[in-house]
Amino acid sequence: MSSQDTQNPPSDDKQPVSLDHLPPHARTIKSYVMRAGRTTEGQARALADLGPRFLLPYTGEQMDLAATFGRQSPVVLEIGFGMGDATAKIAQTLPDTDFIGCEVHEPGVGALLKHIGEMGLTNLRLVRHDAVEVLENMIPPNSLAGVHIFFPDPWHKKRHNKRRLVQPAFVSKLLAHLAPGGYIHLATDWEPYAVQMLEVLSAESGLVNTAEGYAEKPAYRPLTKFENRGLRLGHGVWDLVFRKKA
């Protein structure tokens, strides 16, 4: 979903695929393309050893968030955590917040489970499933303290812009699942997508921008290796933080 190599593999790995050969019912546009990827021995071991505790099955039924984590705490949903490096660091930085991470790619899920074991994290749960369906069917309305979407696939070509995740209908779904005062934090390294994100979020009457335009990078979001390299080369990164009106 991203050009961020520590959050998500480079976008060059996700070339658009033709759906013309598929029957009409199978041509549903997704915001991601399944990538071929090799699960390492360490990732497979983490899936086997830690998956039963930290990997939630997709049930299509609303979760009891307090029961899921064994406590009553703010819950943040992260959509598309890639290889999970930043996700693990954020969870470690914010131990009083619980996180649900959605990612469709097995190596990334295995990598984050490995981080969970190595770092002794208890405030993370993962779902290997389409985040839109998880949001619609498993997350209770008005329940989330926040949503993180970092470096989603920008779908650079204009004819593929419709595949971008951040669209008005999707933001409306996010809003319905945010608690009053809850936030949406987006980040991208593709300026045209940043412009679209700002336009879409600003047009949602139930949200208010926390900044004049783009936000300062919140302290809890770590810089990735890719991002540091890009900043040294003069590339930009844009953060947006909007809150749901009370």
What is the Cα–Cα distance from 78 to 102, expressed in whole angstroms? 6
In degrees and rounded to multiples of 5, residue 178 shows phi and psi of -85, 140
What is the Cα–Cα distance from 11 to 5, expressed in whole angstroms? 9
Structure tokens belonging to residue 31: 């915001």
145 alpha-carbon distance from chain centroid:
14
123 alpha-carbon distance from chain centroid:
16
Other Cβ atoms within 10 Å of 151 Cβ, number:
27
Which residues are catalytic, by number?
153
237 alpha-carbon distance from chain centroid:
16
What is the Cα–Cα distance from 92 to 210, expressed in whole angstroms? 24
Query: Nearest 5°: CA angle at 240, between 235 and 245?
Result: 175
Return the SS3 of 94.
coil
